[in-house]
Structure 1
Amino acid sequence: MENKKRELISIIIPFYNQDVYFDSCVESALSQTYTNTEIIIVNDGSDKVFEDKLKKLQSKYPDKIKLLTQENKGVGAARNLGIENSKGEYIAFLDSDDYWLPNKLEHQMTILKKNKINFIHNSYLIVNDENRFIGKFISNTLSYKELIRSCDIGLSTVLVKSDLIKKHLFSTISTKEDFVCWLSIVKEINSLYGDQKEVMIYRDKKNSLSSSIKVKFINAFKVYYKYENFNIIFSLIYTLNLSINWIFKTYKIIFKNPDQINFKYLSNINNLKFEESYILSALNMASLSNINLFYLHSAKFIFWIDGYCAKFIVKMFNKVPGRKLIQDLKLTEDVKKIYLCGNNSKLQINFLKNKFNSEIDFIEVPFFKELNEINKFKVTVDDRSLVIINISTPKQEILALNILNNNKNKKIFLLCLGGGISMVTGEEKIVPEILEKINLEWLWRLRSNTWFRLKRLVNTSIIFLFKIIFGYFDKTNFKNID
């Protein structure tokens, strides 16, 4: 399709006091390959600080973003206000904590035109508050009979013809408002087309879980009793059936639907090159137990083998301690600048300065209590830079991803060394060779910060064993790139 022939798509984003994820949400809408769009953000009575943030954002993109404000009435009313003020021939919905893949709209418009339909929903990937990959939902075309049993439509994947959605606005209940809308639409058009290409990352937030389940159960009953006019008995039966289907659906999302993801690893660190951006991280029990944090970013990671647990996963096992990696590391002319990022250490800075015969820029980071706090930390580094990170896993890997995301179109090489650099500089005593040979390094490290490290070790061990027992790593493939 040529630009001049492209129909306008209105993107409606309801907003209420969203802090952590909103920037990436809006960026995903602005970065669509289908560019003939208007973005309508509906402020649903947010606090003043967020209101000011939205006004600043709108002023930055005055020709693209329209800002509407209402007193707090809920997401259904917010979407309705956006629909009523939209100009597009098509309408897409995006919740403020979700994220579209770049060709979402382009792909869907192609399918709509090809199949001559006016409603489409798609498959999507699911992460939690910490950006840990949970699973994949696979969409299907749904009739009323199928939809009434299970609301299998991801709202932020929906693209619908404007004149259709304007006849079927959202209800004002606090949850399931979209279910009511889809049921109303399917009665008119008979089926809701489901395309299986994933186009969105959905964030499954677990705040107030028990009260949320209670509210969802009550609202599900309302869907059947109030909006579909079922009697009390049938409403209860369908509500219970909806809950049972949710259990089976969740199992499929986590264990059956995800595609196998390819990761890369090196068995010989001398083969490391400085050509395209990457994150180099240790493959050990800590990283393997947190592998779901890296699932969506697998192409950005290269691992080296640092722990015995990797023997269960990789074919070519050649263990290299982090301290040996930094000792043997040789840079090329492709690297123009070196940073140490994390905990301030004069010993480490001087070691790196002497080793590489180069000035070392230091980037100090605050203590991150929660993993999602790292996304708020913004840092800019020079092109063709080596960034060595010295905090613990998985915080250092998330920080590395954050640095890459904030320095796009640059070649950045990030080394997640954790405590390895502390040992090579003498800040932490080197593990005795006899313990290293029998893979008891963890026992040596318990000498300091014993209680903290023991808790972390037990927690990591349980998660790793759980993943092994339930075949989690069957969905991963580690490929040697030496």
Structure 2
Amino acid sequence: MKGISVVIPTYNREKLLIRALQSVAEQRLNCNEIVVVDDGSTDCTKQRVEEFAAASTLTVIYLYQNNKGPAAARNIGIHTACYDTIAFLDSDDHWHKRKIELQYAALEKNPDLMISHTREKWLRRGKHLNQKKKHQPGNGDIFAHCLQLCAVGMSTVMLRKKLFDSVGFFNEKYRCCEDYDLWLRTSCRYPFLMVEEPLTIKEGGREDQVSFQYRIGMDKLRIASMRDLLKAEILSDSQQKMCLLELRRKCTVYGKGCLKHEKPEEGKHYLAIAHTAEEEAAR
């Protein structure tokens, strides 16, 4: 069905969630439905969503699951969504009032493109944070950038639901870096459409964020994702070489870090992976 579904996963963020929902309600172009997936919250999330839904003219669907992580929550939202275009919004972020309007128009003007993202405004504890050059999002073929880091902000994304038929859904084995993993599987197949305006406001610097909780082992998860991608045998020769070289770099950094922190067996394991990746890239 033609239209826009907004998928919002959440976990114990009742106050921030209301701000996110309000930013959707204030859009100049309304979405057709909001799907809130509660990932096992123990606060008053359900009550707050019901109150918002009762006061809103928008269709709001509330789903609850036992805590399984953001990948599983988003997947339930995707499967529940009734419309052919999906926009993702994390419950601690919010949107500029023209976000849906401008991004949807850009996708409609480019019917051959499957996925779009926008620039972001970053805040840390309420204060503006300048982005480093490496964090600036790109347009078109962004596979090389996606290998380096998570190059696409989750709350910036709008895509055609049929994209998941070819790239698969969020990998639920990743409690963190599930977005990095999906962007790798997507960017090796499809170009990304960039909307230049900073239409997404990203909030950071809180200990409840998954990226904070997994900040020490994040590269280990990204290494696993790259190895999964190589095993899938879907990359072109040039993409495979790029992936192997980045795998070597990440494994070298992580392996040396393990040795420094007195984890010799783990360190040797990752340095061995780095050596193998270097050999395969040279073939």
Could you state the TM-score of these two structures normalised by the residue count of structure 1? Answer: 0.45
Distance of 1:165 and 1:203 partners within structure 2:
27
Long gaps (5+) in structure 2 = 232-239, 255-283
Larger Cα-atom Rg: 1
> What is the aligned partner in structure 1 of residue 120 from structure 2?
124
How many residue pairs match? The answer is 235
Residue 32 (str. 1) matches residue 34 (str. 2):
no
CA distance in 1, matches of 2:177, 2:116: 19
State the alpha-carbon separation in 1 of the partners of residues 88 and 40 from structure 2: 19
1:215 corresponds in structure 2 to 217
Structure 1 residues 49 and 143: alpha-carbon distance in aligned structure 2, compared to 1, 3 A threshold: closer
- Indicate the residue corresponding to 2:164 in structure 1: 165
Equivalent of residue 43 in structure 1, options 30, 38, 42: 38
Does residue 1:174 correspond to 2:175, yes or no?
A: yes
**Correspondence list, 1:50-449, <5 A:** 50-61=45-56, 63-116=58-111, 117-128=113-124, 130-136=125-131, 138-141=136-139, 142-167=141-166, 168-172=168-172, 173-189=174-190, 191-207=191-207, 212-229=214-231, 235-238=247-250
* Residue 211 (structure 1) shift: 5.0
Q: CA deviation at 1:187?
A: 2.9
Query: Secondary structure of 1:188's partner?
Result: coil
Distance in structure 1 (CA, Å) of the matches to 2:205 and 2:15 = 12
Partner of 2:215: helix, strand, or coil?
helix
Alignment-derived partner of residue 260 in structure 1: none
Once the two structures are TM-superposed, the CA of residue 239 in structure 1 deviates from its matched residue by 5.7
Alignment correspondent of 2:260:
none
Check if 1:17 corresponds to 2:17.
Answer: no
The unaligned stretches of length 5 or more in structure 1 are 1-5, 243-482
User: Could you tell me how far apart the structure 2 residues matched to 1:115 and 1:233 are?
Assistant: 33
Cα separation, 2, equivalents of 1:226 and 1:118: 23
Structure 2 distance, partners of 1:19, 1:155, is 19
Give the distance between the partners of 2:216 and 2:130, measured in 1 at CA: 24
Query: 1:178 is matched by which residue type in structure 2?
Result: D
Measured at CA, do residues 135 and 7 of structure 1 come closer, stay the same or move farther in structure 2, by a change above 3 Å?
farther
Q: Within 1, Cα distance between the matches of 2:65 and 2:212?
A: 29
Task: State TM-score, norm by structure 2.
Answer: 0.74
What is the root-mean-square deviation in Å for CA atoms of aligned residues? 2.8
Q: Could you tell me whether the CA contact under 8 Å between 2:93 and 2:203 is conserved in 1?
A: yes
CA distance 1:139–1:210, shift in 2 (3 Å): closer
Aligned 8 A contact 1:25 1:100 in 2: yes
| Deviation readout 1:430-465 (Å, 9 max, x if unpaired) | xxxxxxxxxxxxxxxxxxxxxxxxxxxxxxxxxxxx
Q: What residue number does 1:276 align with? A: none
Distance in structure 1 (CA, Å) of the matches to 2:152 and 2:180: 8
Displacement after TM superposition at 1:51 (Å): 2.8
Greater RCO, CA 8 A, separation 6+: 2
2:6 is paired with a residue whose SS is: strand
Structure 1 residue 140: deviation in Å? 1.3
Displacement after TM superposition at 1:23 (Å): 1.7
